Amino acid sequence: MRHVQAGLEHELQMLDQEVDVQQTAKLRKKAHRLSVPLPPRTKEDGDQYWHEAPFFGEWVLTQAGIKVMRDGIRAETKARHEERTRWIAYVSAVTTCLALVTAVLALLR
């Protein structure tokens, strides 16, 4: 029975690490696309932002690292959205002016 339980615990640890690897890859891809810097890895054996997933031999984000990445991605996404919103206001103003000029010209003819 103890052997079965140890095997299940081993499988669960592997699955947890696989989820960590996938989540880190997804966040890294988003960060790269948005030019958001990754949290620094300051030690060879890990730190507050990174730890090594022994089953996969990859460095994955800790919960603190995930929070830093998500905050950076949100901030960059928000900044880009605000910039787009500003452009929409300008385009709307120009379109309104063109419509006004067209209406005045139509009335004068």
Q: What is the pLDDT along the chain (109 residues), one digit of tens a residue?
A: 777 777 788 788 889 889 999 999 999 999 999 999 999 888 776 688 998 888 888 899 999 999 999 999 999 999 999 988 888 888 888 899 999 999 999 998 8
Q: If we measure between CA atoms, which residue out of 108, 26, 14, 106 comes closest to residue 66?
A: 26
CB 32 within 8 A of CB 71: no
- Domains held by the chain: number: 1
Q: What are residue 80's phi and psi, to 5 degrees?
A: -65, -40
Segments in the chain forming alpha helices (H)? 2-34, 63-108
The torsion angles phi and psi of 53, rounded to 5 degrees, stand at: -90, 105
Structure-token pair, residue 51: 């730890």
On whether the CB atoms of residues 36 and 72 are closer than 8 A, the answer is yes
Residue ranges making up the domain that contains 96: 2-108
Beta strands 50-53; 58-61: pairing state: antiparallel
- Give the dihedral sign, CA 50/51/52/56: negative
pTM of this structure: 0.73
Q: What pLDDT, on a 0 to 100 scale, did the predictor assign at position 85?
A: 87
